[in-house]
Amino acid sequence: MKIVFIIDQVYLHGGIERVLSIKANYLASLPDYEIHILTTEQKNTLPCYEFSNAIIFQDLEVNYKRNKSYFHPVNLFKLPRHIYKTKSTIKRIKPDVIIVCSHSVDTYFVPFINKKIPKVKEFHYSKFIEKDKREKPSLFKKLFFKYTDYVESKYDKLIILNKDESKYYKTANTVIIPNPLTFYPDSVSQLTKNRIITAGRIAHVKGYDILIDIWRIINNKQKDWKLDIYGDGDSDYVHKLQNKIDKYGLQDSITLKGATSIIQKEMLNASIFVMTSHNECFPLVLLEAQACGLPIVSFDCPFGPRNIINVENGILIPHYNKKVFADQLLKLMNNKEQLKLKGENARKNSSKYKLETVMNLWEKMFNDLSIK
């Protein structure tokens, strides 16, 4: 079976790119699959994650200006060529299924080209972010959402990551397939280090500024624990976070660690994972933390954490309640019995998302589409 994955690029670190590498490598290892990855702006750079040599890459070299809107004339001018090159490349490959991974221009025209080939669209963000704009739309947004709903109806399947997301879709073609675990270590954290970590893209949506406020409350009561924040991203936001740490005098207890390629090792050397995002869809990093045996304390933000965390393996905090977050985190930090129990249950929960289990769902969908 020939599968074509369409994505803008795979040279930047990100959740979509990471999950694609895991899925594509797994499928490429199977005898009956031929995997192609079609990019639009790889810019002659190497992938940032490891991909199997069996995977066939092709870059269309469309190279949109990423610092401008896709509606900007300089990008709209590139669209006809993008459509033509995509259509002709797919015609040459003759895939059995096409999967659009990233939410870029391809999303809006792929269902209408090479119409006999089944098309699948993956959603890696929560449509909760559209809620307010859909309820009180401008004329432009009203027309835009009408068009996006129409486009989504033309895909054979829409892949969403959790059941809560289904209410945001107007069509009946959604399928729930969660992200697979990227690793499942043989050993787990001993939960003996006075160290808490978090990891993710350094961006406003992750709420790290809120986490610093929470840590200030904790540090006023208990000073023998450390918080490490892993990730890179918006340099202005990084600067803002460091200024806040300095202002609160927390330089000795909070460290912005930057990106790491050994997050598994760092998780195994921590005792708790925390998340303070404004919204999430299905954060892979939470599964990774659970696989390492870490209990998680997280805001109950829309809508990812509640589909991974429960009272047995972690603590969900009412969204934006910093005091409750600090109080509950302090209690867990000082209750070794609960720490151990929640860590054991976290590990058990993560096993439901092992790679083979999740990829069986993908293979079933491929087979269903091929006999449609």
Q: Any idea what the CATH number is for the domain that residue 83 is in?
A: 3.40.50.2000
The pLDDT score that the predictor gives to residue 372 is 61
Instruction: Determine the length of the chain.
Output: 372
Distances (CA, A) of 35 to 43, 100, 224, 265, 362: 21, 14, 50, 31, 14
Claim to verify: residue 112 and residue 215 sit in the same structural domain: no
Nearest partner of 218 among 56, 333, 370, judged by Cα: 333
CA distance 168 to 165: 6
Tokens at 296, concatenated: 């998680």
CA distance 170 to 173: 9
Q: Based on the structure, what is the number of domains in the chain?
A: 2
Claim to verify: residue 164 and residue 25 sit in the same structural domain: yes
Spans of the chain, pLDDT less than 50: none
CA distance 272 to 330: 11
Q: Give the DSSP letter of residue 281.
A: S
What is the distance in angstroms between the CA of the first residue and the CA of the last residue of the chain?
Answer: 15
Contact 52, 24 (CB under 8 A): yes
Claim to verify: residue 295 and residue 219 sit in the same structural domain: yes
Query: In the beta sheet, which residues pair with residue 369?
Result: none
Residue 249 lies in a domain: yes
CA distance 111 to 105: 12
Domain that holds residue 295: 195-353
The pLDDT score that the predictor gives to residue 13 is 78
Taking 3-state DSSP, the helix, strand and coil percentages for the chain, each rounded to the nearest 5, stand at 45, 15, 40
Residue 187 lies in a domain: no
The pLDDT score that the predictor gives to residue 30 is 97
Contact 161, 177 (CB under 8 A): yes
Residue 254 lies in a domain: yes
The pLDDT score that the predictor gives to residue 325 is 98
Claim to verify: residue 25 and residue 161 sit in the same structural domain: yes
Using alpha carbons only, what angle is made at residue 76 by residues 70 and 81, rounded to the nearest 5 degrees?
Answer: 120
Residue 23 lies in a domain: yes
The pLDDT score that the predictor gives to residue 125 is 85
Nearest partner of 207 among 267, 259, 274, judged by Cα: 274
Claim to verify: residue 17 and residue 94 sit in the same structural domain: yes
Claim to verify: residue 6 and residue 85 sit in the same structural domain: yes
Q: Residue 106 in 3-state DSSP?
A: helix
User: What pTM value is reported for the model?
Assistant: 0.88
Claim to verify: residue 338 and residue 226 sit in the same structural domain: yes
Residue 15 lies in a domain: yes
Residue 190 lies in a domain: no
Q: How many helices (H) and strands (E) does the chain have?
A: 13, 13
Claim to verify: residue 360 and residue 345 sit in the same structural domain: no
The pLDDT score that the predictor gives to residue 339 is 98
Claim to verify: residue 240 and residue 297 sit in the same structural domain: yes
Claim to verify: residue 157 and residue 94 sit in the same structural domain: yes
Using alpha carbons only, what angle is made at residue 134 by residues 132 and 140, rounded to the nearest 5 degrees?
Answer: 120
Residue 188 lies in a domain: no
Residue 189 lies in a domain: no
Claim to verify: residue 172 and residue 233 sit in the same structural domain: no
Claim to verify: residue 152 and residue 299 sit in the same structural domain: no
